[in-house]
Amino acid sequence: MRLTVSQVTKTSEQLELDLNKICQNSPFDAQQFLAQLSDGKLFCSTFNDRHIAALAIDSRGRLTAIAVGEPNRRRGVGSDLITQASQLLSGELEQLCVETPVSAELVPWLAQAGFVQAGSLWCKRITGL
């Protein structure tokens, strides 16, 4: 499955439709992602011109939301999205962080994705700095 990860800088009807699908069965909603267009950064994984996963990062480098569409879960799409977004952010941020508490099922995934718990944060150093 060949995915493209890119930073989204403006909204579109397709983006909003896809985010609503991605956010089904997710603790986040499309508006949480769209809010980052003005305040932070929004990255999306696309496949066949459709957004299948989204990652929102605030201006402090805090990961505020991540969601992968149901059909694409457990295929490494979320990990790939974080890895490629980190590469795109190298030179801008030193690390990505997630504030705790995080859900129990998210902890193994964060560890597998390279995040390390540091006090009240889970952080991943961005390579290239």
Sequence-separated (6 or more) residues with CB below 8 Å from residue 9: 37
Band of residue 129 on the pLDDT scale cut at 50, 70, 90 = very low
pLDDT (tens digit per residue) in 69-124:
776 677 777 778 788 888 888 888 888 888 876 677 778 878 888 889 888 888 88
Tell me the CA distances in angstroms from 114 to 6, 7, 16, 36, 92, one per residue in order: 20, 21, 30, 23, 19
Q: What is the CATH number of domain 4-93?
A: 3.40.630.30
Segment 106-115 long-range contacts (CB within 8 Å, at least 24 positions apart): 109/78, 109/79, 112/79, 113/78, 113/79, 113/82, 113/83, 114/82
Please choose, from the candidates 127, 109, 12, 120, the residue with its C-alpha nearest in 3D space to the C-alpha of residue 66: 109
Q: Record the pTM.
A: 0.83
